[in-house]
Amino acid sequence: QGYDTVLTEDGASLSKGQKQLLTIARAMLLDARILILDEATSNVDTETELQIQAAMRQLMRGKTCFVIAHRLSTIRNADTILVVDQGQIVEQGRHGELMEKKGFYYRLYQAQFQI
């Protein structure tokens, strides 16, 4: 129904993915200086995720952002990635640096994108 979609107060008529998209749209409209995104694309399909990532690059420009993600493609372009295992930071760096180390992040990344 597009723009004519009727929403209930609790959003019960929306899927998880639709709720996430609305939340991201609200963050864009708010234009806050600090953003905390927790699994921002976990309930959307791959094509939508790519579109969201492109929009988020714009949204995040010039802001302090904390992004919590299991899909490592979400954080690939981050200035600093903190890799947490069992509540402890085990590695830190940019994507390229962490891949060169061939440590925990590298193994996670390889496992996620294995064909």
Compute the distance between CA of residue 92 and CA of residue 75 in angstroms, rounded to an integer: 13
pLDDT in tens, 39-59: 766 667 777 777 777 777 777
Token reading at 17: 């993915």
- What pLDDT is stored for residue 115 in this prediction? 57
pLDDT in tens, 66-111: 888 877 877 888 899 999 999 999 999 999 999 999 999 999 999 9
- Structural domains in the chain, CATH included, are 1-70 (3.40.50.300), 79-115 (no CATH)
pLDDT in tens, 20-46: 778 778 887 888 889 888 876 666 777
Give burial (CB, 10 Å; 0-12/13-18/19+) of 15. Answer: exposed
* pTM, rounded to two decimals: 0.69
